[in-house]
Amino acid sequence: MHTSCFLRCMAAALVVVTTTMVDAITPIEVKGTRLFDVVSGKPFQVKGVDYYPRPNAGKDDVNNHDVFTDDNEPMWKSHIQEFVALGVNTIRLYAVDPSKPHDKFMCALSAVGIYVIVDLAAACENCAITNDAYPTCYPPQLKTRGQQIISSFAKYNNVLAFSAGNEINHVVKDVKTNAPCQKKFLRDMRAYIDSCATNMRYIPVGVVLADSDRDINALYYSCRTDPADSLENAECTCVTSSVKSEYIDPWLPGVGYGLNAYLQCDAPATASTIGPGYNKLLSDFKSYKLPIPSIMTEYGCVNKGFPTVNGYAAQRTWIDAAWLLSSQFVDVFAGGLAFEFSTENANSKADAPFPFTSFGTQNYGLGYFDPATCDGTTTSPCTYKRMPNFDLLATQYNASKATSLPTKSAYTPSITAFPACPSSVPSLKDIVWVADSTADMLCPDLKQTTLCAGDIIYTGKKDSPPTNKTNSTHAVTTPKPTATTSAPSPPIAAAPQTAQSMASSSSLAGIV
């Protein structure tokens, strides 16, 4: 729903939480349509929340702004405990500024076993695929920005994936217009990761689409317009990783298909019977036969028919979380992220003002910030207040266990071929791309940067010897480039933007 032009290490001692710390976090990898811990081989399902802690007032009361930096610690620090209480293992960030340090935030999440999906695009100029027709819709500056973010975040073992874009189909309905630009950007980011795999691990790169023109989008982003181009999509199979080594056996950078869909709007629905919107979703995605993981990157319809609980109207029951994590969905979907952690005052105040007790078409929060005029600074802190639907989602997430699923070694993917591409879209190789003239950034040298405590450097290729670097601090440093392709370009920051309208939720399944 955020319109932008799309998982472990121990925390530093300064991070205070009220829960037991987990062991050093290890990356998650793709095999077929499922996700697994790269060391233990245990199955992983995404139980997540979309996170944009926008304050009620002040300079950070804007859309698509990076509030996850070290200097913003007063804004996000207390939320780590809320994530733990909610039972999430993944959060999604909509916009980051690669020129700023994120060590404190990422390490605090790692300390409690939480992974992150990092969007590569944002609403700043040349920071996302545009609404123009291809190839103009892919600004070459975006290629540099994406590589900067990958280089900056590659050292964090709790990066689950990168998202190459968010809902570019929300305004442009014809796939032929700008979808080739999005697919080319995806390919360029996978190519960069592959070229740096002696320095860093393979991190999946995916895309997030709005739930419109479901068929053609799902097939287009999962097919290869050039069957010989292994970087258009991930390989369908993975080889066994070595538990005793920091090297992760090679699989090309994986793609995940993310869908923002608000389908469960029926208040009387029960967990025992999957609703029609989700039944249609499951049927459609089974028919596509995608060989890659699919994730519900936003879900959670708001509807005035949902019950009033403790004075809060229209509290979502979140039975769709139970459906999504059930055995019926596991071969198609790898989990999902509920929208969203906190109601955004700027979006909700028109029909559901503070303290957000009434129904509103933009009142999507699991909680909200108090007081009404807080700006998130040390002089005007925002205190997170849970709404009843926070506890309802926590009940579903904490009840769901992936332990009943097979381990990586016991799992054999049933889909091993890519779907055919829609005939109406061109092949990427037949288009002249300006971004191809933009030199790649240098690869990060993770040995020259401070890691989260307990972290180990994982790489995708054996050319580089394993590194058992386990720093216990998280001082702010920038990964030092080591490749020889070109000098790095100046950072392209996700500058604060003015508030943007968000699409209204509808009580009709599939409408965003």
Give pLDDT tens digits for 141-196. 999 999 999 999 999 999 999 999 999 998 898 999 999 999 999 999 999 999 99
What does the pLDDT average to over 483-494? 34
Greater confidence, 26 or 477? 26
Q: What is the pLDDT of residue 137?
A: 98
Query: DSSP code of 440?
Result: P
Query: Which tokens sit at 429?
Result: 């190789």
2 pLDDT band, cuts 50/70/90, is low
Contact yes or no for 310/61 (Cβ under 8 A):
no
Give the span between the Cα atoms of 61 and 66, in whole angstroms.
Answer: 11
Give pLDDT tens digits for 469-484. 444 333 333 333 333 3
Greater confidence, 6 or 178? 178
Give pLDDT tens digits for 281-332. 999 999 999 999 999 999 999 999 999 999 999 999 999 999 999 999 999 9
Indicate whether 19 belongs to any domain: no
Indicate whether 488 belongs to any domain: no
Burial, 210: exposed, middle or buried (Cβ in 10 Å; 0-12, 13-18, 19+)? buried
Indicate whether 105 belongs to any domain: yes
Q: Which helix (H) or strand (E) holds 297?
A: strand 294-299
Q: What is the pLDDT of residue 380?
A: 95
Query: Which tokens sit at 126?
Result: 């040349």
**Residue 226, pLDDT above cutoff 80:** yes
**Residue 491, pLDDT above cutoff 70:** no
Give the span between the Cα atoms of 261 and 280, in whole angstroms.
Answer: 12
Contact yes or no for 126/85 (Cβ under 8 A):
no
Q: The pTM is what?
A: 0.85
Structural domain total, the chain: 1
Give pLDDT tens digits for 248-290. 443 444 568 999 999 999 988 988 899 999 999 999 999 999 9
Indicate whether 122 belongs to any domain: yes
Indicate whether 171 belongs to any domain: yes
Q: What is the pLDDT of residue 424?
A: 87
Indicate whether 462 belongs to any domain: yes
Q: What is the pLDDT of residue 263?
A: 96
Indicate whether 499 belongs to any domain: no
Kindly write down the DSSP assignment for every residue of 127-173, as one continuous string. Answer: SS--SSPTTTTS-HHHHHHHHHHHHHHTT-TTEEEEEEEE-TTTT--
Of 110-124, 404-418, 474-488, where does mean pLDDT reach its minimum? 474-488
What does the pLDDT average to over 205-221? 94
CATH of the domain at 206: 3.20.20.80
Q: What is the pLDDT of residue 351?
A: 96
Q: What is the pLDDT of residue 171?
A: 86
77 pLDDT band, cuts 50/70/90, is very high
Q: Give the CA distances from residue 191 to residues 150, 173, 204, in Å, rounded to whole numbers and listed in that order.
A: 12, 28, 11
Burial, 331: exposed, middle or buried (Cβ in 10 Å; 0-12, 13-18, 19+)? middle
Indicate whether 245 belongs to any domain: yes
363 pLDDT band, cuts 50/70/90, is very high
Residue-number span of the structural domain to which 367 is assigned: 28-481
Of 23-27, 105-109, 436-440, 469-473, where does mean pLDDT reach its minimum? 469-473
Q: What is the pLDDT of residue 54?
A: 96
